[in-house]
Structure 1
Amino acid sequence: MATAVKVGEDAKSHLEELQAEIRLRTGTSVTQQELLSRLIDDAYESRDDIVDSFRESTVPLSEAEKEAMAAGRFSSGVETDEEDIDEILYG
């Protein structure tokens, strides 16, 4: 079952360019529907990256964010090693 999806002019143009490049490099003609399906399938496999691309903030942190994080640090005076952390986390 096919459903119509509206895309902007830039996206449509990019899709057409990619379609033409596939034809040029491989000699294979693909429809825009086939191309979009492949792109969606590939994006689904790396969906965490796609989801993250819509977040307001990104990593790495900006300098201001790094400074704000560092300002909240303090020393408890207690030395902690890996075994201590494992014990705290995993019991």
Structure 2
Amino acid sequence: MATAVKVDEEAKSRLEELQAEIRLRTGTSVTQQELLSHLIDGAYESREDVIGSFRETVVPLSESEKEAMRQGRCSSGIETDEEDIDEILYG
């Protein structure tokens, strides 16, 4: 049995925005009721998790794909930390 839920205009707008983003990024149309149910379940840590939960499939890398990625790596022999990376990226 569905029950009406009153929300303020800002919350309604944010809900509609998230609903549209889910449709745009996943191709899946969800009702606001479905979206609220997902949010209320609390099983998601981030907005990305909520959006991803509406994707029809999740395709993890196969073991052969993971191995191919590992083989493409090589060590320069130089240890790099976060500060080094920040300096390289941001100057």
TM range (shorter): 0.3 to 0.5
Q: Which has the higher contact order (CA 8 A, sep 6+)?
A: 2
Q: TM-score, normalised by structure 1?
A: 0.46
Q: TM-score, normalised by structure 2?
A: 0.46
Structure exhibiting the larger radius of gyration computed from Cα positions: 1
Q: Compare the two structures and name the one with the higher helix fraction.
A: 1
